[in-house]
Amino acid sequence: MRRSDLAGWMVPWLVLAMAGGLLPGAEDKLFSGPQVGERLVRFKVRGVFDQDAGKDLDFVAAADGKPIVLIFVHDVNRQSVSMVRILSEYTLGRAKDGLVTGVVWLDEDATAAENQLKRIRHALTPKVPTGVSVEGREGPGSYGLNRNVMLTILVGKDGLVAGNFALVQPSLQVDLPKILESVVSVAGGSVPKLEELPGMREMMRNMSSREEAPNLRPLMAPLIRREASDEDVDRAAKAIEERVEKDEAVRKEIARIANTIVDSGKLENYGTARAQEYLRKWAKELRKGPTERPAEKKQ
């Protein structure tokens, strides 16, 4: 993944439900990690790059009360990587002001996470302290991180949380300004304009030049309606599968959405039992590319 490609990797995190107001609890505030005013407990991660490789790192201890930004990466996709890249490049640039930055990769398999980080290192900010959680996907036990978000970003000072951002669908335009305000509140200075941030202009140009992701709301909304009959679900599923066969972009988006829902552990919240059967089916069958699917039996 080249840096210039980052902006195009916009995975629609439950876009079908969120766009239609169908996401259970969508109006409720999501919580992940210690809240404002709570203590930042020390924890260890395994370093990945350069002189930190294989070493135990403790970002909170390293900060020792100085301003700190902790970025917990729950899911890896263009949205989360883009946010990590732009935010950490800014915070690293504030290191001379005493600001400490730590990026924490969360995964059940620490070795797999290390290998993934090495593969996408070119898409991350060079020299930003980065480590893999030694406590699995849940991260530090005392932090209470929410695995159903993409990123948890904590801003702190004097060992306390000053800002908490649990992002389900990270947006540079919407979320980053709020995060920067919080960072400036602990590190001083003035809030930079987005276009002034390193790499931001290039990313925005790429975003505007790429084709938009397929609009799946008209296809998916009928499928996951609670009141839909089996006939309604079958009809909606047929329309989706017809589009999948004709449009590779639609296939990829349906595969991502189905896998996201199934992997979230909240499948029962989406539509009827019939609809859930289709989501399981697509999560399994569409995960592979079209050339990897089993050949159809000849008549």
The CATH superfamily label for domain 31-208 reads Glutaredoxin (3.40.30.10)
Tell me what pLDDT residue 206 has.
60
Tell me what pLDDT residue 104 has.
96
Tell me what pLDDT residue 75 has.
87
Per the prediction, the chain carries an average pLDDT of: 83
Domain with CATH 3.40.30.10 in the chain: 31-208
Report field, pTM of the whole predicted structure over 0.85: no
Tell me what pLDDT residue 29 has.
66
Query: Taking a C-beta distance cutoff of 8 angstroms, is the pair 161, 171 a contact?
Result: no
Could you say which residues of the chain have pLDDT below 70? 1-29, 204-215, 287-299
Q: Using one digit for the tens of pLDDT, what is the confidence trace for 90-141?
A: 999 999 999 999 999 999 888 888 988 998 898 898 999 999 999 988 999 9
Q: Using one digit for the tens of pLDDT, what is the confidence trace for 213-244?
A: 566 778 888 999 889 999 999 999 999 999 99
Closest CA relative to residue 271, chosen from 15, 29, 24? 24
